[in-house]
């Protein structure tokens, strides 16, 4: 029999709510029980309109405010690594609200952020800006399954906003925009031969040496945008070639990953990669655009001032890029530590969760 989970109680504080969300396993592709619980809890709040598509839930206020802000987060996690149910250490009396560290799958990435979203949804019925809460599925797997991508394609109007905050783990910093990412194969060809008569062939793997040499000499660009410095990177992440232990290979491909600053378009990024590897065949494998910080937007300025957090660039890729593609400036801000995401030792401090909730509340009721 499928295990039944209790309903979500949004009256508990964000740390306790994080623990309960962690105890709701929701590995990518298996989010339905948690999505059901989130939908049920939000539909009980009379000030919100709630819509659902698959295992993505969108809830909105409609107060006629002059500005609308989206608070977004994914409800899925990577596969569990013997780290569910949650456990609390270091609390003064065993209660999450009394400090300590909460351990478990998704504590950092990003059920603590989702808990903060749910608490704001439940306890700020008349915010100073209209709010859209987005809870979506399948962020941790391939892009075509991403719930936010699906919402953008099917229900673009559900995501209308002047500004968005993605509660991905940032360790309490405000991280503006995100870098783009691209993978490409740099290919060489040769002539197959028996390795005992190697002079009759042309070794394609040996021809890859100049590719690696160019990578070792490559000097990544640093660029400042809105006062944030993005550090690009171009690196080999894989190499494939060869047929057998006695065959000179006639094909080889070095897979490179280019992390590019958000002032480059995907087209410009690909042109740069082809320029670096001029003379070789470059085949694009996949690509995702970056997102400009958008910190000059009035809502972003007010958010940064209200939360009083340290500013920095997002050096990885997050779904702020999807909001940016919709014309919605977005930042990353969440209580978790990104360095702990996806690890067996994933954890988050209770104080960080409560501080994130307090800062967002102060911004939205000022």
Residues carrying an active site annotation: 76, 139
In a 3-state reduction of DSSP, which class is residue 78? coil
Contacts of 167 (CB under 8 A, 6+ apart): 71, 72, 73, 110, 113, 114, 116, 117, 332, 333, 334, 356
Sign of the dihedral through C-alpha 58, 64, 65, 66: positive
How far apart are alpha carbons 180 and 285 in whole angstroms?
14
How far apart are alpha carbons 313 and 160 in whole angstroms?
24
Residues linked to residue 193 through DSSP beta bridges, in sequence order: 248
User: What does the DSSP 8-state code read for residue 77?
Assistant: B
> What are 147's two structure tokens?
């719930």
Are the C-beta atoms of 115 and 65 separated by less than 8 Å?
Answer: no
Q: How many Cβ atoms are within 10 Å of 83's Cβ, its own excluded?
A: 19
> What are 86's two structure tokens?
């949650």
Closest CA to 40 of 32, 156, 127, 23: 32
Are the C-beta atoms of 290 and 178 separated by less than 8 Å?
Answer: yes
Residues linked to residue 182 through DSSP beta bridges, in sequence order: 258, 287
Q: Tokens 């699906």 map to which residue?
A: 150
Sign of the dihedral through C-alpha 29, 32, 37, 40: positive
Q: b/e string for 225-243 if b means 16 or more Cβ within 10 A?
A: beebebebebeeeebebee
Element holding 252 (H helix, E strand) = strand 251-260
What is the distance in angstroms between the CA of the first residue and the CA of the last residue of the chain?
Answer: 48
Are the C-beta atoms of 162 and 68 separated by less than 8 Å?
Answer: yes
> What are 209's two structure tokens?
């040496």
């Amino acid at each position: 029999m499928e295990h039944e989970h209790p309903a979500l109680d949004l009256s508990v504080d964000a740390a306790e709510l994080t623990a309960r969300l962690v105890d709701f396993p929701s590995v990518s592709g298996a989010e339905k029980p948690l999505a059901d619980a989130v939908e049920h809890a939000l539909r009980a709040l009379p000030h919100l309109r709630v819509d659902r598509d698959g295992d993505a839930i969108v809830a909105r206020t409609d107060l006629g405010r002059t500005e609308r802000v989206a608070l977004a987060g994914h409800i899925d996690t990577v596969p569990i690594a013997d780290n569910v149910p949650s456990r609390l250490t270091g609390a003064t009396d065993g209660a999450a609200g009394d400090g300590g560290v909460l351990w478990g799958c998704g504590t950092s990435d990003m059920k603590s952020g989702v808990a903060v979203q749910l608490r704001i949804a439940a306890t700020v019925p008349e915010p100073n800006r209209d709010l859209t809460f987005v809870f979506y599925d399948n962020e941790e797997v391939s892009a075509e399954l991403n719930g936010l991508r699906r919402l953008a394609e099917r229900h673009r109007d559900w995501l209308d906003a002047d500004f968005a905050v993605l509660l991905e783990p940032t360790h309490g910093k405000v991280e503006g925009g995100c870098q783009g990412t691209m993978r490409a194969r740099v290919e060489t060809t040769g002539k197959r031969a028996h390795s005992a008569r190697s002079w009759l062939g042309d070794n394609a793997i040996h021809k890859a040496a100049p590719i690696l040499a160019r990578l070792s000499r490559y000097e990544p660009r640093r660029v400042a945008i809105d006062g944030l410095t993005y550090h690009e990177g171009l690196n080999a992440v894989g190499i494939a070639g060869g047929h057998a232990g006695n065959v000179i290979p006639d094909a080889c491909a070095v897979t490179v990953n280019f992390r590019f600053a958000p002032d480059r378009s995907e087209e410009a990024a690909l042109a740069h990669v082809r320029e670096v590897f001029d003379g070789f065949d470059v085949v694009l494998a996949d690509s995702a655009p970056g997102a400009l910080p958008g910190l000059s937007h009035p809502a972003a300025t007010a958010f940064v001032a209200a939360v009083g957090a340290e500013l920095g660039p997002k050096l990885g890729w997050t779904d702020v890029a999807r909001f940016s593609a919709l014309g919605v400036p977005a930042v990353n801000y969440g209580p978790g530590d990104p360095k702990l995401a996806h690890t067996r030792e994933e954890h988050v401090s209770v104080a960080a969760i409560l501080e994130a909730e307090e800062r967002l509340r102060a911004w939205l009721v000022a």
